[in-house]
Structure 1
Amino acid sequence: MKRSHDRTEWIASRGEFLIERHIADAMAAAHWHDHVELNLLMDGRMTYLFNGRQEQVAAGRLVLFWAAIPHQTIAVTENAPLVCVYLPLVDFLALPIDRRARQSIMQGRFLTQGDQETSDPSMFPRWESEWQSGGNARRKLIVEEVRLRIRRLILDNGEPENAATQSAPAPLAGQAVGHVESLSDLINIHYANPISVPELARLANMHPSTANSAFRKVLGISVNEYLIRYRVARAMQLLTDTDDPILQIGFECGFGSSSRFYEIFKERTGTTPRHFRESVSGSNAEAG
């Protein structure tokens, strides 16, 4: 059974907070969106292919990951209900959490709740139901409850105890987060152009060293690394959702030459753009 890309496309285009519940299924191809995703499988088991690794997910064990890293459900038991929470990246960055924990998530950590929380199986369906039917006041309350749950999840999985006593999100509430937000917005707009980090920094009215310093402080990666990840993710999406020529997709995603496109794509995905498209087409045909 093929999972529709419409939902993810809607999430990615809106860039908003969302909670949904659906029956988990195997995905024909990896997808991505620029949120931090919080998932709770209500029953059964599932396996994610995430950041080049297979991650096993058991019912009742909360998982969290940065969804801008392409991810794919490759195996799931039948009729397994899944509640998904999509938190915009800028909201995640504003949380008062340990810097090392935040950076590890931005660098590809798949965070799993160590011990099952007995409240999660009742709380997550309630959030989803109230999000669909509640008013603005109740929705705002749900967002706050989700933020607190994420903070507890991170605290339970290695955040130093004294982090809770530090002054709210002081380092991240100021210029660093603002710089990252401005630069990521510019990358979203200009990724198709042969733009450099100095040019991005100039458009954001900051020095290139300031730009990279902010990215490394907040995300743990350079501006250029984020730009490459964004371009590869967009290329994967176009290879999956369109019949555009492969070389055209490479140029549309900001790769200056066909050799550069093939080199980077294979380095990041383990396969060539052509083989990636063929594997997706084969999966789609079987699903249909």
Structure 2
Amino acid sequence: MSVRLHCDVAEFGTAGARVRPVIRKSMHRHNEIELNFLESGKFDLLFGNARYTLTEGRLYVFWAAIPHKIVHLRQSSTFYWLTVPFKHFLSWHLPGRLIESLLSGKFVSDLSLGMPRRDSVQFATWMHDIRSRSKSRHEAMLLEVEARMIRLAGRLSQNSYAADADDGEGPPSPAILKAHQMARYICRHYVGPLSSNDVAEHIGLHPNYAMSLFKNVYGISIGGFVTRYRVVQAQKMLVMTNMKIEEIIGACGFKSTSQFYAAFKAHALQTPHQFRKRY
């Protein structure tokens, strides 16, 4: 069932805390990668329009640009949250599969045995690092988070997956899988002309049904997701290359300069020139 998303936009940067979950009235989003580790308890998170149950001792990672909020507390819980600025995520040497999984909107969970105790200690250390004013501690923390993400990527094929939108246990539902297939197709074909009909045809669905399914899962239209992903790729090129902005426009699939600048300002909340100068 589709719900209307009322969404607050925020910017966290490198931040984190150990907290008790609180039910929010409004969805919120921010352009960082977010890590959640549940120290104890269980609660439900709405991610896009899909509902996930987060359980004790597990690490969850997701792209927080997709609207999300805590909607139900199943048990008394304590969890850590940590946000990583997009510029750091884009500069890390992560396997392509993990990057694509996150940027295609998957809600990734690590189910590996033996990691909860290590993660608990690690997150506690990272919280101290964040509160410190030491540049070296911040840099060390980011290196350790990168290493944890690499370990997560190594387990992605067997012990990690996009958590089930019904109860957080077992493989994803067929509807979620179809939505992820569409998102992956977008991630791989964003440079050329790409319509909602093209995406629907790729997975054999009627366009109207495909658009409804996609929005129900991600809380954003197919066209909106295409634009957002193109902006993400532009951000990556601005940070990691010396390409001229005129070259980036075409390399990211935008049809015109005006379309690019409008989309970038809407999603990044600043111009491409400001973004490059800042990062």
> TM-score band (shorter)?
0.5 to 0.7
Q: Which amino acid aligns with 2:16?
A: I
Spell out the pairing of 1:76-95 with structure 2 (5 A cutoff). 76-77=73-74, 79-95=76-92
What CA distance in whole angstroms lies between the structure 1 residues aligned with 2:248 and 2:128?
A: 46
Report if the CA contact (8 A) 2:35-2:82 is conserved.
yes
Greater than 3 Å deviation, 4+ residue runs: 176-179, 182-185, 230-234
Distance in 2 separating the partners of 1:182 and 1:111: 22
Kindly indicate which of the two structures has a greater share of residues assigned to helix: 1
Deviation at 1:72, TM superposition (A): 1.2
Task: State the partner residue of 2:123.
Answer: 124
Match of 1:58 in 2: 55
User: TM-score under structure 1 normalisation?
Assistant: 0.54
What displacement does 1:10 show? 5.2
Question: What is residue 33 of structure 2 aligned with on the other side?
Answer: 36
2:173: which partner in 1? none
Aligned residues of 1:35 and 1:68 also touching (Cα < 8 A): yes
Distance in 1 (alpha carbons) for counterparts of 2:130 and 2:82: 11
Residue 50 to residue 207, structure 1, CA distance change in 2 (3 Å): closer
Equivalent residue number for residue 248 of structure 1: none
Per-residue CA deviation, residues 135-161 of structure 1 (Å, 9 max, x unaligned), is 2212211111111111111221129xx
Query: Displacement of 1:84 after TM fit?
Result: 0.9
- Map 1:163-174 to 2 at 5 A: none
Give secondary structure in 2 for the equivalent of 1:42.
Answer: strand
Aligned counterparts of 1:138 and 1:233: Cα–Cα separation in 2:
28
In the alignment, is the contact (CA less than 8 A) between 1:70 and 1:233 conserved in 2?
no
Counterpart Cα distance in 2 of 1:79 and 1:131: 26
* 2:52 counterpart of 1:49: no
Distance in structure 1 (CA, Å) of the matches to 2:236 and 2:144: 27
CA–CA distance in structure 2, aligned partners of residues 9 and 43 of structure 1: 27
Q: Could you give the per-residue CA deviations for residues 40-81 of structure 1, whole angstroms, max 9, x where no partner exists?
A: 111100111113211111111000000001011111245422
Verify: 1:181 aligned to 2:222, yes or no.
no
Match of 1:25 among 6, 22, 35: 22
CA change 1:206–1:178 in 2 (3 A) is: farther
What letter is aligned with 2:253? N
Give CA-to-partner distance per residue, 1:85-116, whole Å, 9 cap, x none. Answer: 11111211222222233122111100001224
Structure 2 CA distance, aligned partners of 1:131 and 1:207? Answer: 34
Distance between the aligned counterparts of 2:87 and 2:71, measured in 1? 29
Query: 1:204 corresponds to which residue?
Result: 245
TM-score where L is the length of structure 2? 0.56
- How far apart, CA to CA, are the structure 2 residues paired with 1:83 and 1:44? 12
Q: Indicate the SS of the match to 2:19.
A: strand
Q: Aligned ranges for residues 136-155 of structure 1 at < 5 Å? A: 136-155=135-154
Q: What secondary structure sits across from 1:124 in the alignment?
A: helix
Number of equivalenced pairs: 182
Amino acid at match of 1:96: H
Structure label with greater radius of gyration: 1
Alignment check: 8 A CA contact 2:95 2:150 kept: no
| Distance in 1 separating the partners of 2:91 and 2:101 | 16
Give the conservation status (yes or no) of the 8 Å contact 2:34–2:61: yes
Cα distance, 1:83 vs structure 2 = 0.9
Deviation at 1:182, TM superposition (A): 7.1
